[in-house]
Structures are given as C-alpha cells and as structure tokens.
Amino acid sequence: MSKVYLDGEYVEEKDAKVSVFDHGLLYGDGIFEGIRAYDGYVFKLDEHLDRLYRSARAINLEIPFTEEEFEEKILETLRVNDLKEAYIRPLVTRGKGSLGIDTASCKEPSVIIIVKEWEALYGPELYEKGLTMLTTSIRNQPIDGLPPTVKHLNYLTNVLAFMQADVWGADEALMLDTHGNVSEGSADNIFIYRKGIVHTPPVTNNLPGITRATIVDLLGELGYPLKEDHFGLGEVMTADEVMLCGTAAEVAPVVEIDGRKIDDGKPGPLCLEVKEKFGEVTGKPETGVAI
Ligand code: PXG
C-alpha cells in the first residue's frame, strides 16, 4: 500500500481521508493533474505543474506553495514510496468550509498527492488491434461555461461520457462540443490523419493535453503537416487514421467509431510511428525530472 501526501503529512492509503465538508467533495471545487513517471523520470513535470497552476488561477484558488515547492513534494512522495514508474495524481481542493457554496468559508486549500504503481489503461492487445469509440450524446462543457481547458474536479461529464461508451461496448467515448465540433475523448485528445494532413482541434474545446503537445512536436520532427482546426464527425469517419493520446492512454490507434471502420479497420502507419517515437522520448532526462 502506498503512502499519500496529505496536507504536509505522509499517511497510509487506508488512512488518507478528507473532510465531508471539503468543497472538493461538496462541489467539485478543486483542480488536479494526472502525471506519469517512467524509468526514474517524471515525464513533463514542469508542463503538468504549469497546467495545475493555470487551472488554479482559473478557479481563483491559491495553491499554498510555489511551483518549485510543489515539484519537490511530488518527487519526495515518489521517493517515500520508492517508485520509479508511477502514476501521480496531485490535487488541490478548496478545503473545508460551510455547506454554502461561498468560498469565503474555506480558509485553507487541501493538497493531496497520490502516487501508485502504474497499471496500464488498456492491455497490449488493444493497442495492437486498435480501440473502438462511441460518439457520446454527452456534449463536452461549453467554452462559455465550465471551460474544458481547465483540469478541475468536475469530471462528471467525462465520467458519463465514458460510462455510455462502455455500456455500448466501446473502449472510449468521442465527445463533441456544443457546436457539433469534435473535441476530445473522455480522458484523451484526438488526432485524425486525412489526405496527408494531420488535424487536431485547437485547445479551446478540449484540455490542452501534455501528450497532445508532445505529439505536435513529434509530428513536426517526423515531417507531417499539421493543422489545428475544428472538424466534425464527417471528417473523422472519412479519415485514413484516428489516434488518441493522453497520460493514461499514451498513444492509441482508433479503428472503429460508432460501428463504422476507420479505413481498413486496422491501426495505421502514422499512429504506429508516433507511438514508437513517443516511447523513445519518455523516461529520459531531456523530457522529465529525475526522481
Ligand atoms: N482530455 C481530457 C478530458 C483529459 O482528462 C487529456 C485530454 C489528456 O491530457 P494529458 O495531459 O494527460 O495528455 C485528459 C487527461 C488518467 C486521467 O487516469 C487523465 C485525465 C483525466 C482523468 C484521468 O490519466 N486527463
């Protein structure tokens, strides 16, 4: 069992508990990150911390440490747990308050860092044969509402989207935005490859994924033209390849959406190339912070 960092202390997993008056629980009032460590290096830790602090600003939450201090706490939590390969889940909640929604009653944010041994999201066979998706009826959060660009604790949209896909036997949900544009998966960003050009939606209607940004760089290095533009289901259904990416999923080919095959229904060469290249950049001092 792992030890969890909870407001300045390391506590056994079974004893890591928060108050029922925490606004993170009462209202989903908080933010989080999902990070991975490979081979002793925390992949893109600075980028994840940057996103965490931007998310905090977006909800007017003051994290009680500097980014450098937070980084050190993450590394220390990994050391305390003697982990070199791990999934890391830092979260900051608004903290204990009254039952009303007014944040003024919350005097101190709660900082939690969970680190766990990595369990693969999808089995290796799924990467070989490719994933299936279902276009969910649950639209992503509108950009003039709770922004999909902020990693806050209100993940019910994503939970319901995934649940719907799962009920219908698909591996992941494809979410559209309220205008019908493709936005992202329930926990990953999407790329399509169509007529020699890679497309991905701009980060207005989806989370600015750290894996997404890494893949944008890798595609540049591999010489693929990329357009960040909005597109609809029609473009996805007529794409030559569809690819998902995220901290948990890494890089995954999508071979079927809503019961319709993408091209020949097999993982395509672009996705396999990107997946291989991604595997080469993780677990390296150039892309991570040493534990
Ligand atoms: N879109 C959404 C909605 C996400 O939640 C991504 C894209 C990919 O971002 P990164 O930075 O990981 O490339 C996410 C990822 C998990 C987990 O178990 C990850 C997320 C949310 C919930 C669980 O890794 N966010």
For 42-96, write each residue's pLDDT tens digit: 999 999 999 999 999 999 999 999 999 999 999 999 999 999 999 999 999 999 9
> 3-class SS at 117?
strand
Residue pLDDT, tens place only, 213-269: 999 999 999 999 999 999 999 999 999 999 999 999 999 999 999 999 999 999 999
Distance 91 CA to ligand 1 centre (A): 14
What is d(CA 73, CA 65) in angstroms, rounded to the nearest whole number? 10
CA 117 – CA 91 distance, rounded (Å):
18
Asked whether 289 and 42 are in contact (CB, 8 A), the reply is: yes
* Residue tagged active-site, from 3, 44, 96, 151: 151
Q: Report which ligand 1 atom has the smallest distance to the Cα of 36.
A: 24
User: Helix (H, G, I), strand (E, B), or coil: what is residue 92?
Assistant: strand
Alpha carbon of 218 to ligand 1 centroid (Å): 19
Q: Where are the domains of the chain?
A: 3-116, 124-281
Nearest CA to ligand 1 atom 24: 248
Q: How far apart are CA 175 and CA 232, in angstroms?
A: 11
**What is the Å distance from ligand 1's center to 39 Cα?**
21
What is the C-alpha to C-alpha distance for residues 133 and 190, in angstroms, rounded to an integer?
11
CATH architecture label of 3-116? 2-Layer Sandwich (3.30)
**234: three-class secondary structure by DSSP:** helix
- Beta-strand relationship, 250-257 and 241-246: antiparallel
Residue nearest to atom 18 of ligand 1 (CA): 248
For 142, which DSSP code?
P
CATH architecture of structural domain 124-281: Alpha-Beta Barrel (3.20)
What is residue 231's three-state secondary structure? coil
Exposed, middle or buried, 45 (CB in 10 Å: 0-12/13-18/19+)? buried
Contact 142, 178 (CB under 8 A): yes
> Of 73, 201, 91, 111, which is closest to residue 152 (Cα–Cα)?
91
Distance from chain centroid for Cα 45: 13
Using CB distances shorter than 6 Å, the residues near ligand 1 are 34, 158, 184, 187-189, 206-207, 209-212, 246-248
Distances (CA, A) of 247 to 14, 107, 256, 269, 283: 26, 32, 22, 21, 13
pLDDT digits (tens, 9 = 90+) for 104-158: 999 999 999 999 998 777 778 888 899 999 999 999 999 999 999 999 999 999 9
- Residue 151 known to be catalytic: yes
d(CA 188, CA 243): 10
Separation of alpha carbons 7 and 1, rounded Å: 19
- Residue whose CB lies within 8 A of the most ligand 1 atoms, among 188, 190, 278, for a mutation test: 188
Q: Ligand 1 mean position to 246 CA, how many Å? A: 6
Q: Which residue has the tokens 């959060």?
A: 141
The closest residue, in CA terms, to atom 4 on ligand 1 is 187
* Nearest CA owner, ligand 1 atom 25: 187
Region 184-204 average pLDDT: 97
